[in-house]
């Protein structure tokens, strides 16, 4: 189990990153109903990956890692947690929009996909991607003893 949890943690991070990249590539002002439904599905996968990252991360923190005291005394760990919370908050806005668009498509109406909304969502996704790149760097630094 001590090998499985870190492995699942890394796999979940890769799925999370892949989901964000997929959303970024699909999202554009002119999307067909299939693309809109794909966005919503990919976003669900993203959410499930985030839950798995959180769950395996908590297991590593409290059960399989160096112990809660080690991590809590490290300011880089606090930065990492803060970034994860910011990531979670930022992800709410695209999720709401994608679900709204999918609901409209399912009703047979044209979703209100406008260029300004797409630009805002792309910016949020780019910020999320940046955060997902920074968090593993902080994890490696913490594992190597930086910040203690």
Three-state DSSP string of 115-127: HHHHHHHHHHHHH
Distance CA 148, CA 37 (A): 46
Domain boundaries, the chain: 4-143
CB atoms under 10 Å from CB of 41, counted, come to 14
Among 109, 108, 102, smallest CA distance to 40 is for 102
pLDDT tens per residue, range 48-104: 999 999 999 999 888 877 778 888 889 999 999 999 999 999 999 999 999 999 999
Query: Has residue 127 got a pLDDT over 90?
Result: yes
pLDDT value, residue 119 = 96
Q: Are 128 and 120 in contact (CB under 8 A)?
A: no
Task: Output DSSP code: residue 62.
Answer: I
Q: Are 141 and 147 in contact (CB under 8 A)?
A: yes
Q: Which two tokens stand for residue 102?
A: 């999918």
């Amino acid at each position: 189990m001590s090998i499985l949890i870190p492995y699942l943690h890394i796999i979940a991070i890769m799925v999370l990153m892949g989901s964000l990249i997929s959303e970024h590539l699909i999202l554009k002002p002119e999307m067909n109903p299939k693309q809109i439904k794909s966005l919503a599905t990919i976003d669900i996968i993203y959410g499930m990956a985030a839950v798995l990252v959180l769950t395996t991360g908590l297991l590593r923190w409290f059960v399989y890692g160096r112990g809660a005291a080690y991590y809590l005394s490290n300011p880089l760990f606090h930065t990492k947690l803060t970034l994860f919370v910011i990531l979670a908050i930022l992800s709410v806005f695209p999720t709401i929009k994608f679900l709204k668009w999918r609901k409209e498509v399912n009703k047979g109406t044209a979703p209100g996909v406008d260029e300004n909304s797409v630009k805002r969502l792309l910016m949020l996704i780019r910020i999320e991607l940046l955060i997902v790149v920074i968090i593993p760097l902080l994890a490696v630094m913490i594992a190597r003893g930086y910040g203690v």
